[in-house]
Every structure is written in structure tokens, then in C-alpha cells.
Chains A and B, each alone.
Chain A
Amino acid sequence: MNKIQLLHTLPNVFEGRIDIVSDIWQQDVTFEKGELYLVEANSGTGKSSLCSYIYGYRHDYQGQILFDGEDIRKYSVAKWTNVRQKHFALLWQELRMFPELTAWENVEIKNKLTGFQKRKQIEEWFDMLGITDRLHAKVGRMSFGQQQRVALIRALCQPFDFLLVDEPISHLDDSNAEIMGRIMTTEAKRQGAGIIATSIGKHIELEYDRIFNL
């Protein structure tokens, strides 16, 4: 997947509003593979909706979203499964971890599916993010900040053309945010992938190619 296009996209709930000033809604926007993007938003401007539209689990929008020119509304279940396993990684704002599994199992449940990362690499990331001691702790008993770091590692356990991170550092200190940024960009560069980060206020410091205001 090389290109994500939004053609005149607008959440249905915004329909009829004339005060929308946005770089994304109702515009023609293209995200290219290999580039770094930041989508800055105020709350209530539809940031999480944008992520769910692009990731294909909500369709309550007008206009079109295209992957390499193909309308994603027409994607089959099998095609979405393939996209989620091999082309598109997402770090959710709400993380979507499994609290009854340990940090390691949460990562493993994804990596077993894709068989993409080596155990050594995963352990290295845990170490870099300072949560090696939490490896076998149940995720339900970890702080949100710690969970955010586990969720990033899980998101990286697959091949991807785009990495979409929804407020990845909302609960992280600057030093951890910086380490996270480094891990993300290194892995994206290695795969030649693009990154789309979103933020409300505090954003992850990367060398963005383009910044959008939602």
C-alpha cells in the first residue's frame, strides 16, 4: 500500500455544519508511504473518528477514503484482515490491550499471528522503554503510561506500510516519549513505511514532512 487518500471526507455527525475549518475534513488529502505526518486536533474535532475510518471499523462518513485508489468501503473481510496483518499498524488511543494477559502475552498474541519480530528485538524494546521488569505482569495491573509502551511494541510486531499512532505519548514523560519516537522512526525507516501521528496538544517530536490541523 503506497497511498492513502481522503476525498472530501466528513463524519456524518458534522453534516450541515458550515463552520468547519480543517486541513482534512472536506479536503482532498493524500498520505504517502515513507513520509511522516502529524495531525493536530482539538478535542471534538473527530480525531478518533478519523483513525477508525482509515482502519476500516467505522463507516459513518461522507466522501471517500482510498487505499492505492481503491475505495475501502468495498473491502472484503479477508482484505481487511490482510491489511491489518501486513500493511497497516495502529496504536489506539484507548490501547485495546487484554488486561487478563501479561505484557509479554499481549505482544505475543500479535507476533504469533504475524511471526514478524524476533523475541530478541521485542525484549530489546521492552528494555529501551524501561518496562523489562513488567514483562510478566498482567497488563490490567500496569499504569496507562506503561500500557502505552506495551501497545507500541505490539503495534510494531507486524509488517506495515503505514503506522498510525493516536496520541501515543499522552501519558509519557519526555524522555520516554523521545525513546518511543526513536523506536517508531527506526522501524518505519527500516520498512520504508509512513507514520501518521495524532495529538491534542502534546505531540511526539519527529521530523514531520507535513502537519495538518484537523
Chain B
Amino acid sequence: MKLVWKLLRQHISIPQFVGFFFANLVGVVIILLGVQFYHDFQALDSEDSFMKASYLIVNKKISAFSTLTGAQQTFSDSDVANLQKEDFVERIGAFTPSSYNVRARFDVQGLANFSTEMFFESVPDEFVDVSSDAWNYQEGSTQIPIILPKNYLDLYNFGYAQGKGLPKLSEGILGAMKLQVQIAGNGEVGNFDGRIVGFSSRLNTILVPEKFMHWANQQYASNENTKEPTRLIIEVNNPADERITTYLQDHDYETDKEKLDASKTTFILRVIVSIVMVVGIVISILSFYILMLSVFLLVQKNSTKLENLLLIGYSPAKVSFPYQALTVGLNVLVLILAVVIMCVVRNYYLGMFENFFPDLQAPGIMSALCVGLVLLLIVSIFNIIAVHRKVMSIWKRKD
């Protein structure tokens, strides 16, 4: 093969291949960085893994006037139907409140004992982004999965525990602790174990699975009449949509403005990252085109040599191999260098992020690496096939 390579490397244009190399490098780096950034940003954004950014929680404005007059704070069926008609709404879920008394108790490592009156709410399960195993209630079971507001933990850690000299609790430790829940109503009392599956910074309520809520409301609620919801959870297709803000204002509805803004930022950022990735893909496709043109030119210039090699008994596969190895080798080199550049850039931006988000748990580079490998595979397969076809055309030209 050494001699074959000596023959076939004639006419290789170094500037063309260098051109391809850098063009492709730029393209692949952009694609990989796009993927990686998207993932890293998701880790930032998914502080609240129970709710997607595209969910909004809406309630009616409470004013001194409405409190005094006792005006309706709940959403009627027609309110929901009107909202459903809007284009920006994907789906709507209602918050179901508990119609019974709840008392919860738990120990902090034997140091303190908390006991409090509380309440439960539920939303349809499809709005809760927890694996269905963890967010499941079996009728008759005494285990209830619960999602608590993150504020509660902050209140304890930075207010109560600080003042009383109690240990601070992390989400992990709290998740392992049992919450003793007592439910009373309708002349019955039930004891349950609450299992905290997580903390949400977006849901300002104590959430239980909808199935449990229905069962418990039936079991312990004194009056059966179903109440209209005071809060709705809405999935919107684009949180940055101006019409949402206008609609909410027009109807005197409220949502967490800051969260809406955060959702908008996330959405816009995703759009930007997607555009940048498309640019990367276009650059890569163009550079792939340059490579193919260079290789075709090379094959053309060396066509007599290739033909003679075929005639003295070399198989098309053997004759194609040097050029295939050349292109695949270049692709591999580009990928390796691109991954290195991506890691350097990522370290730089993660450093900046860490200032704002000290607990940031950045995901690995696996996904970017996979995208890179898949790209490499696709491009290499195309290269291999293209070179082989070109050599076969030389073989067949004799027809």
C-alpha cells in the first residue's frame, strides 16, 4: 500500500485540504458548542425540574376591593374555555385544593420537632415532570409523594435554623426524611407517610399526585361539591409571546412576572442557540462540499494511475482506500480538535456561570461528543461511498 499511496498522493493540493480542515473545524466547533451550551444552560434552567419553562401558573388578582366585596377569585368553566381558545395555549390544568384538614409533623435529626397545619393541592399529572414511578399513588397505600416549595426550605435554612442554631438541611437529606401526615375530615382520620420527591421554586404550593387528591377528597371531604379552581397551570407554546401578557392584563389575571421573564429569556436563548447551530451545520455542509470537490479533482487528476492500478489487478476497494483513509482521517482530526476547543471554551463560560450559580451541576460533554461522533460517522460514510463511486466510474468508463 506504501507504493500505491506514493502514486496516489500525487497532485494532492495542500491548500485545498487546509481550507477544508479549517472550514470544517469552525463548523463542527459551532455545532458542538451549540449542543453543549444548550445542555449546560438546561442544567441552569432546570433548577426546577418539576416544571417546564413553558408552564405558567395563573390566578385572578386579589385586591382590597375584591376581598371586601367577596368577588369571585375562582376560574369558572367559561373562563377556562375562553383561555383554551387562545392560540398561545397548548393545554390547561386546574389546581385541585384539598377539602379536608392536613397536619404534618417531622423531626430534624432528633433536635427539633415540627408540627403544622397545612394543605395540599394537585395538578394533572402530565404537568409534573417527575418519573411516573416516583409520582404515583397506589390507593390504600400510606405513602404519598409530595413536592414542596423551595421557599419552605430557604425559610427553614436561612431563617429558622440560623436563629435556633439548628443544622441546615440540603434537598437530598430532606428527601430521605419522612413527613408524618395526618388527614382528618368527614369524621375520619388517616395517617400517611409523606415522601418528599423534590422542591419546586415555581410551584408555590404543596403538591400531591392528582390520584391521591381525588381519593382523599372523596374519603375525607365533608361536602362533595367540587370547587372551582383558584389557580390554573397553562402550557404555552412560546412564553415570549406578547399576546400572553396582553391577555392576562385584559382579564385581570396574574402570573409570576419574573418567571415569565425567565421563560422568555430561556426561550430566546434557545432560539439563538438553534440559529447558531444551523449556521454551524451550514458551514459544515459547505466544507464537506469543498472536501468532496478536492477529492474528486484529485481522483480526476490521477485517473490514469487509478485506471492502471485497476488494470494490473488492484480491486476498486484497494484503490479507493487511500483517499477514503485521507478523508476519514481528516474528519477524525477535525473532531478531536473541535472537542478540545469546545472543552476550552466551555471551561471559560462555566467559570463565568459559577459566579452566579454556585451549586451548578453541569452535565458532562457526553451529548456533544455523541453528536460529534454521529456527525463524523455520517460524513465519513458519505465520503467513503463517494470515493468508491468515483473509482467505480473509472472502472466502468471502459464500457
User: Which residues of A pack against B, CB within 8 Å?
Assistant: 52, 55, 57-60, 77-78, 81, 84-85, 90, 92, 96-98, 100-101, 105, 108-110, 112-114, 154, 158
The answer to whether the Cβ of B399 comes within 8 Å of any Cβ in the partner chain is yes
> Could you name 16 residue pairs across A and B whose Cβ atoms are closer than 8 Å?
A55-B311, A57-B311, A78-B315, A81-B315, A84-B311, A85-B313, A92-B311, A96-B311, A98-B305, A100-B6, A100-B7, A101-B3, A101-B6, A108-B3, A110-B313, A154-B312
B308 lies within 8 A of A52 (CB): no
Which of B309, B315, B395 gathers the greatest number of chain A CB atoms within 10 Å? B315
Knowing A96-B308, A98-B7, A101-B7 are in contact, say whether A52-B313 is a contact too (CB < 8 A): no
Number of residues from B at the complex interface, CB < 8 A: 18
Please tell me if B4 contacts chain A, counting CB pairs below 8 Å. yes
* A115 nearest CB across to chain B (Å): 12
Give the residue name and chain of the A residue nearest to B7 (CB): A98
Chain A's nearest CB lies how many Å from the CB of B274? Answer: 45
- Check A84 against B313 for contact (C-beta < 8 Å): yes
For residue B382, CB closer than 8 A to chain A, the reply is no
Checking B309, B313, B395 against A158 with a beta-carbon cut-off of 8 angstroms, the contacting residue is B313
Assess whether A98 is in contact with B308, with CB atoms less than 8 Å apart.
yes
Q: How far is the CB of B325 from chain A (nearest CB, A)?
A: 17
Encoded as 1 (CB less than 8 Å from any A CB) or 0, chain B from 303 to 338 comes to 001001101111110000000000000000000000
* Extra pairs beyond A77-B315, A81-B313, A98-B308 (14, CB < 8 Å): A52-B398, A57-B398, A58-B398, A84-B311, A90-B311, A96-B311, A96-B312, A101-B7, A109-B3, A109-B4, A113-B313, A113-B314, A114-B313, A154-B312
Question: How many residue pairs, one in A and one in B, have C-beta atoms under 8 Å apart?
Answer: 54
Q: Bound state CA distance, A99 and B69, in angstroms?
A: 103
Name the residue of chain B whose CB is nearest to the CB of A98.
Answer: B7
Residues of B within 8 A of A114 (CB): 313
Q: Give Cα distance in the complex from A59 to B6, angstroms.
A: 31
Q: Which residue of A lies closest to B399 (CB)?
A: A59
Q: Residue of B at shortest CB range from A56?
A: B398
Contact of A113 among B6, B312, B395, B399 (CB under 8 A): B312
Q: Taking the nearest CB of chain A, how far is it from the CB of B305, in angstroms?
A: 6
Q: Report Cα–Cα, A84/B313, bound state, in Å.
A: 5
Contacts of A96 in B (CB 8 A): 308, 311-312
Contacts A84-B312, A84-B313; A58 near B399 (Cβ below 8 A): yes
- Expressed in whole angstroms, the Cα–Cα distance for A78 and B317 within the complex equals 10
- Closest A residue to B309 by CB, please name it: A109
Does B361 sit at the interface, judged by CB under 8 A?
no
**Complex contacts, B204 vs chain A, CB 8 Å:** none
Indicate if B10 sits at the interface (CB-CB under 8 A): yes
Q: Which residue of A lies closest to B10 (CB)?
A: A100
